[in-house]
Amino acid sequence: MKHITSDQNPQIKQLRMLRERPARQRDRILLDGVHLCQAWLLHHGQPECAVAAQSRLEQTDIAAILTQVEPSRILCVPDALFARLSEVESHQGILFVAARPVPALPDFVSENAVWLDRIQDPGNLGTLIRTAAAAGIRRLFLSRGTASAWSPKALRAGQGGHFVVTLHEEIVPEVLLPRLAVPLAATTLEQARSLYDGALPQQCVWVFGNEGQGVDPALLQAAGLRIRIPHEHDRVESLNVAVAAALCLFEQRRQHGAVG
């Protein structure tokens, strides 16, 4: 473990530069808090480095995390310095720096998957990732124009869901559509059947669209299945996109007898 007290230390300067850079432009990610650090260790192993606040070293959950990190990767800093590195106002005294996953796009998509089309709110995005993971989805595609999946707010809302799925960002329809070997299912209010009328395919790519504009017209045109979720339209115009996704994914899961 390395103890650092100066904000002029080269490693601290690099961390501050990383923190100040927009999430989309980062080649590394900041995982702030006990739960995200635990999830990274469980699913990915060692971080590039772990930073701990001096006063939290003996805290049970943080001590347990640090015992799993190679000592040469651990930086211990004063609380005031940690607060300047953390992206969370009420920090927990532990953060990881890790390489940003950039998986290759598959040649063919033949599995159940989710396509998020220009989702703007990072909180919605994180909740969608978490919901998809809970429903058994292993791969998500994020259209160009979607919020960064690795922003602090999206990571917090995801609650570790990011680490159990494969995320492909900056997707454009002309690249992904020809690779789909399963039906495309889009949620929309127009020319759509009820989610609860008839069988859903066991494997498909679900498209959930922008909070205000819905699914891109090009994707709607390509969709072989259009789904609407029945609700009281005279009282509420539409559902939150994460709620809509949860209803669709878990209805599909129910129909096909998934357990767990």
> What total of structural domains would you count in the chain?
2
Q: How does DSSP classify residue 163?
A: G
Question: Over 90: is that where the pLDDT of 135 sits?
Answer: yes
Closest to 114 measured CA to CA, from 39, 182, 174, 212: 182
| Residue 48: predicted pLDDT | 96
Asked whether residue 68 falls in the same domain as residue 160, the answer is no
Is the same domain home to 87 and 129? no
Q: Flag whether pLDDT at 180 surpasses 60.
A: yes
The pLDDT, as a whole number, for residue 24 is: 78
Residue type, 137: I
53 shares its domain with 144 = no
My answer on whether 121 and 242 are in the same domain is yes
| 53 and 134 housed in the same domain | no
Q: Output the domain CATH number for residue 205.
A: 3.40.1280.10
pLDDT tens figures, 48-99: 999 999 999 999 999 999 999 999 999 999 999 999 999 888 899 999 999 9
Note the pLDDT of residue 234.
Answer: 59
Query: Residue 241's pLDDT is what?
Result: 93
pLDDT digits (tens, 9 = 90+) for 213-231: 889 999 999 999 999 988 7
Is the domain of 46 the same as that of 123? Answer: no
Q: Is residue 60 part of a domain?
A: yes
DSSP classification of residue 199: P
Average pLDDT in the chain: 93
Average pLDDT over every residue of 14-23: 88
Q: Are residues 126 and 228 in the same domain?
A: yes
Residue 146 near residue 117 (C-beta atoms within 8 A):
yes
Q: What is the domain extent for residue 62?
A: 2-99
DSSP states of 39-87: HHHHHH---SEEEEEGGGTTSHHHHHHHTTS-GGGEEEE-HHHHHHH-S
